[in-house]
Structure formats: C-alpha cells, structure tokens
Amino acid sequence: MGGFEALTFMDATELARLVRKKEVTPLELVDFFIGRIELINPKLNAVVTPMFEEARQLAQRPLPDGPFKGVPMLLKDLLAAYKGVRHTFGTRNLANYIADHDSELVRRYKQAGFIILGKTNTPELGLLPTTESVLFGPCRNPWDLSRTTGGSSGGSAAAVAAGLVPVAHGNDGGGSIRIPASCCGVFGLKPSRGRNPLGPDFGDVMSGLVAEHVLTRSVRDSAAILDVTAGYDPGDPYIAPPPARPFREEVEKDPGRLRIAYLTSTLREGINLHPDCRLALEHGLKLLESLGHDVEEVNPNLPAEFIARAFTTVWVAGCAATVKGISFFTQKPPAPDQYEPLTWAMYQMGEKVTGAEYLMAIQVLQRLSRDMAKMYGQFDVLLTPTLGEPPVKLGTFDSPPEDPLRGWRRSAAFVPFTPIFNATGQPAMSMPLYWNSEGLPIGLHFVGRYGEEGLLFRLAAQLERAQPWTDRRPPTADVHAV
C-alpha cells in the first residue's frame, strides 16, 4: 500500500475529486481499501461479507458518471439488498440467502458511482444497540477492542472510524446510525421520515420508525450523499418536504444565531446520565455559546414511560413480522432453535400484540410527534448526549436463555434519547465532539424540525470547522500496529 497512505482518512468527496482529476484510478482506490480491510478487519470483525472480486471487476469497467465515481463504500447487512450477494439480517436463518435484486437505495448508490466492497456486521434483525450476533460474532470498537461499537450499524461505524472505507451505509430504527456514530467517533445523521427510499421490499418498517442513510467521516459527505439518494420512489407511503437547495450547499452556509434547547434529564425514572455524558454536554454547550448561539435547558412534560411502552409494542410487533417474513423465504415455521434468546422472546411478545394494541401504540407515538413539533415553536434545535453512557464493554447486553429480555432492559440506560426521534420522524445527528479520559468518543445529539436536515447540516459544518475531529485516529487504524 506504499505511497497511498494519504488516502486513508480522506473523505469520499476528496477521493471523488482525485478520481475526476485522474490522480488516482477507481481500481487503485478499490485495491487500497481492500488492503486495509484485509489487514485491520481481523481485529474488528466489521466486514462480514467481502465483495472484493466483484468490486475489482466493476472498477475496471465504465462507471456511472456520478459525483462519487470510483469511491469505495460498504453496505450494512440489513434491509438494503445487493443482487447476487448474501443478505442475512444478522440471523443464522438467512446465512445462505442470496438477494435476487438491488434495493432502490443500492441502485442510487451505484448510480452515484460508488463501488461497494462488502457488507458489514449487524446484530440479529438489528434489535439491539450493540453488534454481537451469534452468526457473525462481536464487532469490536476501534478505540478499545473490549468495547461495543453500538448497533445496529456497528460494523459500518467501526469500518469508517478505522479508515477501512470513507463511508458506509446504515439504517436507524431506534438510533442505529446515531448510536454507533457516537461509540466510534464518526458523523451519523438519521434523515427525516420519507427522505430516503426503502423500496422495493418495504413501504415503511415498523410504521415509519426506520430511516436509511450513511456513516461518514465528514459532514459534507453526509450532505452530498443525501443529495444523490433522497427523493420519492413511486409507491412510497411518506414524502419528506423537498429541500430548499441541495444539502451539499447547506454545508457552506452560516446557520445564523440559533435557539438551542438542551436536556440534562433522560426523562426516564431511575435512569441517570453517566458523568462523562454530562461533561460532553457541558463541553458542547460552551462550544455553541462561543459560536454565538443561545442555549437554554428545557424539561418537557412528556409521559416517558407511556411512550416507552408504546415504542416497545411497535418494536416487538415489528420483530414478529420480520420473523414471519423470514419463514416465508426459508419455508420453515419459526422455532426457538433458529434465533437468539432475545429475538425469540421478542417474537413471542410480538405475536401477542393485538391489532387494537398496535394501533393505540401508533396513536401514542403520533401524539408525541405533535407535542414535539409544538415545542419547536420555541427553539430551532434540541441537544442531548447521543447516549446515556460511554461505549460499554462487549457482553453488556447478553441475554441468556433464563433471562432472554435482559439485554433489552439493559439498553434503556444506554439509549434514553435516540428512539424518541424515530417515533417523531425528525432528522437527528450524532457528532463526535468529545472524548473522555479513557479516550472513548461520546457523541452529541442534535435534533431538528421535521424536514429540516438543511439546518442541521449548516450547524454541523460550523461545529466541524470550530472543532475538527478528523485528526483523532483510533489506535487500530494504524496498519503498522496490527
């Protein structure tokens, strides 16, 4: 890889510029990043399905003349299908299932010129905020190999953080882009509901909880990639408001003086913020004030426990629906020996949810969305820590057969904030603005009004310029240390 090391932590936008100027070829990029995956991935277990030969073949053929022509990326092994490649959802039941078509999102990545090098590690069905499936084994955090990467896009976040690729796909049903972005020290934005397509396989997932996008090293990459993937796909059940201008242009604009509300409470009884997360919040508030923004603490009177029960009702029903869907492909009725204990317990819970209970839960979450929207008449952005704790040790969310829901209960303290905004459909982002005394990243979580990714990108770019993070490199990113 000699001579190409400078490419390692360039973002996708810069790599695409080099390709356009013919300073590097797509094949050279593909070979370079394959080399990094081969050297570093054995320690991380981030890439679980290599697609190296197909990537090399594509790199030698004419590519679509998109804005990311020739740039390598990775695809999370959940929801987004790639024709001819196994598509497992992190479960043993689909270990040998091969997708027979591309998802619309993957088609748009290809049209943008991306070359996909492989698929990344995810927990079974994406159910937990850690990436430790029985099928693939644990994905390890590049900042500390004993810690979680978060989930469910943990493989993608670890790969970007360690310089295996500049960008990787993820999806987010309860924080699954933002959680691993926080744990791994990268940028992760969950777009507004309906911004990116889920077709052709899904109209929505769990009544609109799930959104798809990417994990990146730079704000401008996230914005520019959203430009090439966003937009209505015929048959979509939701349509996000059209942006005022390309998201990439927002990165160059001043956000102005913003009214930023913040939370110091998790809103959940008995769940308190870890001191490091409170320090991260205090650091973020000082940074915002130094940039001229107005910050004010808020204590919304939301029925947090009632909302949590409604979210869980939708989540377990979604798990049951997914298990039923997998049975359609495997032609085998669901059985406990096919799934991890937590997945099976959630399936059983979901089987008991009645139609009336499901609709009532949706009504609760829709009421939450209206109440939250009204709050935004008083401020522009809401700030919280992304997580309630720094990255925890691997095994923290283990769920033994005798207590199969232990991991789900434990996750409440880890992810007190992110699921709320899957329910409301608002855009939200995790930014790597703080590292604790152990050298672990702790993200800050910014939430905008529905449809206003543009404002978040303007603020994110300002914060990125004020406090750049790209010079922070996890120890496992150094191939000489491997």
3-state secondary structure 133-186: ECCCEECCECCECCECCCCCCHHHHHHHHCCCCCEEEEEECCCCCHHHHHHHCC
Domain ranges across the chain = 5-481
Integer-rounded Cα Rg, in Å, for the chain is 21
The label of the residue with tokens 């698929």 reads 119
pLDDT of residue 478: 86
Which residues are tagged catalytic? 76, 152, 176
Cα 453 from chain centroid (whole Å): 15
Q: Give me the pLDDT at residue 479, please.
A: 74
**Rounded to an integer, what distance in angstroms lies between the CA atom of residue 94 and that of residue 135?**
10
Q: Cβ neighbours of residue 163 under 8 Å, at least 6 residues apart?
A: 8, 9, 36, 40, 473, 477
50 in Cβ contact with 155 (< 8 Å) = no
CA–CA gap between residue 467 and residue 310 (Å, rounded): 38
Please choose, from the candidates 254, 256, 262, the residue with its C-alpha nearest in 3D space to the C-alpha of residue 293. 256
**Six-digit token string for 244:** 């005022």
pTM to 2 decimal places: 0.98
Supply the angle between the helices 219-229 and 12-20 in degrees, to the nearest 10.
Answer: 70
Give CA–CA dist 420/304, Å, rounded.
Answer: 9
Chunked in runs of 10, what are the mean pLDDT values of the chain (482 residues)?
A: 83 98 98 98 98 98 98 98 98 97 98 98 98 98 98 98 98 98 99 98 96 98 99 96 97 98 94 97 98 97 94 98 96 96 98 98 98 96 98 98 98 98 98 98 98 98 97 89 61
CA angle 400, 406, 409 (to 5 degrees): 165
Contact 66, 228 (CB under 8 A): yes
Q: What is the pLDDT of residue 1?
A: 43
Given this model, what pLDDT does residue 192 score? 98
CA distance 284 to 267: 20
Domain 5-481: assigned CATH number:
3.90.1300.10
Angle between helices 406-414 and 341-352 (to 10 degrees): 90
Alpha carbon 168 to its chain centroid, in Å, reads 9
Spatial neighbors of 251 by CB under 8 A, at least 6 apart, are 219, 220, 223, 457, 458, 460, 461
For the four alpha carbons of 376, 382, 386 and 390, in that order, the dihedral sign comes to: negative
454 touches 247 (CB < 8 A):
yes
Q: Residue 482 has what pLDDT?
A: 57
Q: How many residues does the chain have?
A: 482
